[in-house]
A and B are shown apart, each in its own frame.
Chain A
Amino acid sequence: MLFASKEFLFFFLPLALLAFHVARHISNGKIAVNILIIFSLIYYSWWEIEFLFLLLLSVSLNYLFLRLILLNSSKLILAVGLLFNLGLLAYFKYRNFLIENIELLFIGSSHSFEKFSAIIIPLGISFYTFQQIAMLIDARDGTIKTLPPFLNFVQFVTFFPQLIAGPIVLFKEVREQIEALQKNQFDGLNVFGPGLAIFSFGLFKKVCLADTIAPFADLAFNSHQIISTLEAWAGSVAYSLQLYFDFSGYSDMAVGLGLMFGVRLPFNFDTPFRARNMTNFWKSWHITMTRFFMLYVYSPIALRLGRFAQFNLKNIFLIFFLTVLTPTIFTFLLSGLWHGAGWTFVMFGCVNGLALVLNNGWRMLKMPKLPFLISWSLTMLSVLISFVYFRSESIEAAHNFITAMFSIEHFFFPNWLELYAEKIGVPWKSLPVLSGGSYSVKFLIILAILSVLSVRMPNLSKCYEKLKPSWTLASAIAFMLIMSVGFLDRPKVFLYFQF
Chain B
Amino acid sequence: MKILVALKRVADPANHNKVKIPASGDRIDTAGLEWQINPFDLYALETALRLTENGKNPKKREGEVVVLTIGPKETETNLRSALATGADRAIRIEAVDEELDGRLVAHALAKIVEEEKPDVVMMGKQVVDSETNMVGQVLAELLDWPMATFAATIQEQPDGLLVEREVDGGVAKVKVTLPAVVTVDLRIVSPTSVRSKHTEAGFKYPYEEVRFAPLPAIMQAKKKPLAIKNLSELTPDLKSTTRYVKYEAPPGRKAGIKVKDVQELVQKLATEAKVI
Answer yes or no: are A and B bound together in one complex. no
Chain A residues in the interface with B (C-beta under 8 A): none
Chain B residues in the interface with A (C-beta under 8 A): none
